[in-house]
Structure 1
Amino acid sequence: MEEHHTHDNDSRYKVANREALIGLGLVVFNFVWWFAFAYGLGGKDPSDYLYVFGLPAWFFYSCVLGFIVMAVLVTIVVNKWFVTVSFEEEGEDT
């Protein structure tokens, strides 16, 4: 009789859930970073803006630096905590 795997005894689901939660955490961090700089620095009169490399500081920190920070964070997280998971059924002959 063939044994069917359930979510309870398949470790791939635990790995996928953990990695999904890490991904959601990164998304929330990215949104908070972007929102804080975009509206924190950009919520004043444009004549009072500070500029970084010719860009308004709010845009530079929220969009340019935010992108760089997220690219580095995602790279570190994927290399350190994400694992390769086989999509083949356990015990399946290939």
Structure 2
Amino acid sequence: MKQNQKVFQDDPRYRVANREALIGVALVIFNFILWYAFAYGLGSKPVAEYNYIWGLPAWFFYSCILVTALILVLVILAVVFLFKEVPFDEEGEQ
């Protein structure tokens, strides 16, 4: 091994980053499942049978308005309670 090469060490920042990335992916998947379920579950009826909320079809209101608000709240809660502050500078650097 050459003198200028560093030996890879298990940096705890990688574990934090991986955990936070998995939380983000889980939120995206949850968002898509809810959006799909409301949009295609309620939107599969004939147009004459649609219910309306605030002048919008119910399927659109639930999938695009309500789910977006719910996911926004979940993302804020995840950032506040699950994400950690991680320093970007290398450990041991002085």
TM-score by length of 2: 0.91
Residue 26 (structure 2) aligns with:
25
Residue 77 (structure 2) aligns with:
76
Gaps of 5+ in 2: none
- Alpha-carbon separation, structure 1, partners of 2:36 and 2:57: 15
- Alpha-carbon separation, structure 2, partners of 1:46 and 1:5: 64
Cα shift readout 1:32-62 (whole Å, capped 9, x = no counterpart): 0000000000011011001111100000000
- Determine whether 1:4 maps to 2:6: yes
Residue 89 (structure 2) aligns with:
88
RMSD, matched Cα: 1.6
- Alpha-carbon separation, structure 2, partners of 1:87 and 1:41: 46
Q: Which has the higher contact order (CA 8 A, sep 6+)?
A: 2
Cα shift readout 1:63-86 (whole Å, capped 9, x = no counterpart): 000110011000001100001111
Gaps of 5+ in 1: none
Partner SS state of residue 85, structure 1: coil
Partner SS state of residue 23, structure 1: helix
Aligned residues: 92
- Alpha-carbon separation, structure 1, partners of 2:69 and 2:7: 41
TM-score by length of 1: 0.91
Q: State, as a whole percentage, how many aligned pairs show the same letter.
A: 54
